[in-house]
Structure 1
Amino acid sequence: MSASLPPLTALRAFDAAARHMSFAKAAEELHVTPAALSFQIKSLEEHLGRPLFRRLNRAVELTEAGRALAPGAAEGFAALQSAWQAARRQGDDTTLTVTAGPALTAKWLAPRLYEFAREHPEIDLRFSATLRNMDLERDDVDVAIRFGDGPDEGLYSLPVRKEWQTPVMTPELAAQYPTPDSLRDAPLIHDDSITFLQPPCDWPAWFRAVGIEFVPEHGARFSNADHAIDAALAGVGVVLGRRSMILKDITEGRLVAPFKTAIETKGRYRFLCLPGAEKRPQIAAFRDWFVAEIEKTAHVSDEFEIIPVEKVTAP
């Protein structure tokens, strides 16, 4: 049994076969014939001096040695893939991959991206609209925009303005519910996408901000903020809308915010990337554009009395 490492191609064949528990599927993944893959694994077993698989009639299973090798092989190839992608990105100043939540992408980013594309035609911008936790070292992503209050340990993190919420509705509904107190009888829409924030930034908190003790017992509930806003646009009811999600619809008159009291959440959007990556030209350009776009609408906050949610927390 040799103490030296075996050929990388043989280890790769083993890794694929161990993941699929099938020589045929592993061969398909690696674009080789099953015979070629079987030869690679056999050479690996000869190098080790013991079998890695038990060959059954229509399946394979790992031996004790195979079970010992499989986790390390998988981690090793994942680390190699991550390092390779990181090395490629270091030399690429024209491609930028950004991940943001579906709601922010639909309601804020997408309507504005033509401005960034016009200002930076040299950058090939790619988007992944997801809330999945991304590993910026392993995943092929340069920038993540996330909402909340962190923590963002080990990352470059640039927080932007805190979000606030205020009731918004169609102009027709606004005529039916002209006062905060009248909202007790209105069909209220609940945005459950930020229920993770503490203290809660919800309808009871807003009602307390205007001096009303009221806990709604009914109303449509949505797990995505953009779906809650779309329901309000359709006239379903009144939603406690976040600043970033409602500004465009308010500016264009589809929604109105008749009550000038808002509650400020403890969460905010953060621009995240690996430490040092913020200096790469395309990331710096997107960061500066992102911050500038937010500041363009900062004056809208002057129209509201914005009350931190901590001040209206239920006793």
Structure 2
Amino acid sequence: MRLPPLNALRAFEAAARHSSVHKAAQELYVTPAAISHQIKALEEYLGVMLFKRTPRRITLTPAGEACLPKLTAAFAQMADAVAAAQQQIHTGRVMVSVAPALAAKWLIPKLAKFRDLHGDIDLRISARQTMVDRVRGELDAGSNLLEGGDVAIRLGEGHYPGHVSHKLFTSYSLPICSPKLLEGPTPLRTPDDLRHHTLLHYESDIALADVGRPTWASWLKAAGVRGINTRRGPTFNHVALALQAAADGLGVVLGVPIMASEEIADGTLVAPFDLALPTGGSYYLLHTEAAEREPSIMAFRDWVLSEARSEPWAEPKQIGSAPLLDGETGS
């Protein structure tokens, strides 16, 4: 017998287990409409109704009740089979899925320390835009949260069913610039002094990646500064480029300090003001419960947690109010 599409079976199993289309959508990181569409397609494929639908709830039909237990068990067996295969293949190897910006600006600069401690571990880094939860929902909702990794570092709200998660640090933005700008004819000493300096911006090529991130307009309003044209200054498509421009003294970027911790530590960049605005998420390290039986994976996990605990920019010193909606000028 030919099986129905796997995504349709997953959608039905999650909705039946939760007795809720919305909760199934949250678990699978898709929209409720997508879950409903998959269930309808499955019912058409099978030629039977799996749910009784009312305005407020869904309940299983006899056909749905007969299907659910075996389907839940089948998904559990598939997960065990994949874990068993990975255990054989990945002994001594750790695959880490991580957002590109965090990989480039925070994780990779620290890897020499990990190598010195665990030179026998074959560490592999996979940079993926979909490690940002709001981007994953748009681009690749069908994949699992680890996306092929033994460990994942995700930016999101921390709701990761079926996984062990550890918060690393909060994501927030504040002004960052070269120490050169603190001197000279128009030294940057108060937020109002920003009117005399170039404002640097960055916008991702993936629009959803910028959702919730503070703008210069929102930061200046939180700082009580008015009358500055927040649209002036160059825009870059990656945070690393904007931070490099700031390091070169081209202006001030509203950046995430965790991405510049190395440069701030060595004095290449400074954060002249403590006022920070949240970007709408935090960084979390994820793995499965089965991974806790793998010494190599646990060695990497423990090392990352140690680095996060010692990170001076893990939490903001002064948090401001929520950012404005895009399009507000702050003037």
TM-score, normalising length: structure 1: 0.64
- Could you report, residue by residue, the CA deviation over 1:185-226 in whole angstroms, capped at 9, with x for unpaired residues? 321111334975665422122212221135602222233222
Instruction: Please name the residue that 1:217 is paired with.
Output: 231
Find out whether 1:288 has 2:302 as its counterpart.
yes
Whether the 8 Å CA contact 1:167–1:239 is kept in 2: the answer is yes
- Equivalent residue runs for 1:73-84 within 5 Å: none
In structure 2, how many angstroms separate the alpha carbons of the residues matched to 1:259 and 1:140? 39
Instruction: Please name the residue that 2:103 is paired with.
Output: 105
Find out whether 1:145 has 2:156 as its counterpart.
no
Residue 154 of structure 1: how far off its partner (Å): 3.4
Out of 162, 175, 187, the residue aligned to residue 167 of structure 1 is: 175
In structure 1, how many angstroms separate the alpha carbons of the residues matched to 2:279 and 2:320? 7
The verdict on how the C-alpha distance between 1:199 and 1:103 changes in structure 2, with shifts beyond 3 A counting, is closer
In structure 2, how many angstroms separate the alpha carbons of the residues matched to 1:215 and 1:305? 27
Question: Residue type of the partner of 2:194?
Answer: L
Percentage of pairs with the same residue: 34
Instruction: Please name the residue that 1:12 is paired with.
Output: none
In structure 1, how many angstroms separate the alpha carbons of the residues matched to 2:98 and 2:146? 17
Instruction: Could you tell me which runs of 5 or more consecutive residues in structure 2 were left unpaired when the two chains were aligned.
Output: 3-77, 131-135
- Could you report, residue by residue, the CA deviation over 1:82-112 in whole angstroms, capped at 9, with x for unpaired residues? 9876433223430001121221111111110
- Equivalent residue runs for 1:20-31 within 5 Å: none
The verdict on how the C-alpha distance between 1:197 and 1:276 changes in structure 2, with shifts beyond 3 A counting, is farther
Residue 137 of structure 1: how far off its partner (Å): 8.1
Whether the 8 Å CA contact 2:174–2:255 is kept in 1: the answer is yes
In structure 2, how many angstroms separate the alpha carbons of the residues matched to 1:265 and 1:151? 17
In structure 2, how many angstroms separate the alpha carbons of the residues matched to 1:268 and 1:238? 23
In structure 2, how many angstroms separate the alpha carbons of the residues matched to 1:138 and 1:180? 41
Instruction: Please name the residue that 2:219 is paired with.
Output: 206
Deviates more, 1:229-238 or 1:131-140: 131-140
Instruction: Could you tell me which runs of 5 or more consecutive residues in structure 1 were left unpaired when the two chains were aligned.
Output: 5-80
In structure 2, how many angstroms separate the alpha carbons of the residues matched to 1:260 and 1:116? 31
Whether the 8 Å CA contact 1:95–1:123 is kept in 2: the answer is yes
Q: Secondary structure at the match of 1:112?
A: helix
Residue 235 of structure 1: how far off its partner (Å): 2.3
Q: How many pairs were matched up?
A: 235
Residue 163 of structure 1: how far off its partner (Å): 2.3
Whether the 8 Å CA contact 1:201–1:309 is kept in 2: the answer is no
Instruction: Please name the residue that 1:269 is paired with.
Output: 283
Instruction: Please name the residue that 1:78 is paired with.
Output: none
Whether the 8 Å CA contact 2:203–2:238 is kept in 1: the answer is yes
- Could you report, residue by residue, the CA deviation over 1:223-274 in whole angstroms, capped at 9, with x for unpaired residues? 3222221221222211112121111111111112222322233311111223
- Equivalent residue runs for 1:48-197 within 5 Å: 86-91=83-88, 92-132=90-130, 133=136, 135-136=143-144, 140-175=148-183, 176-178=186-188, 179-193=190-204, 196=209
Runs of 4+ in 1 over 4 A off after TM superposition: 81-85, 136-139, 193-200, 312-315
Whether the 8 Å CA contact 1:174–1:256 is kept in 2: the answer is no
The verdict on how the C-alpha distance between 1:294 and 1:219 changes in structure 2, with shifts beyond 3 A counting, is same
In structure 1, how many angstroms separate the alpha carbons of the residues matched to 2:273 and 2:318? 11
Whether the 8 Å CA contact 1:147–1:269 is kept in 2: the answer is yes
Q: Secondary structure at the match of 1:110?
A: helix
The verdict on how the C-alpha distance between 1:305 and 1:95 changes in structure 2, with shifts beyond 3 A counting, is closer
The verdict on how the C-alpha distance between 1:272 and 1:258 changes in structure 2, with shifts beyond 3 A counting, is same
Q: Secondary structure at the match of 2:129?
A: coil
Question: Residue type of the partner of 1:306?
Answer: Q
TM-score, normalising length: structure 2: 0.61
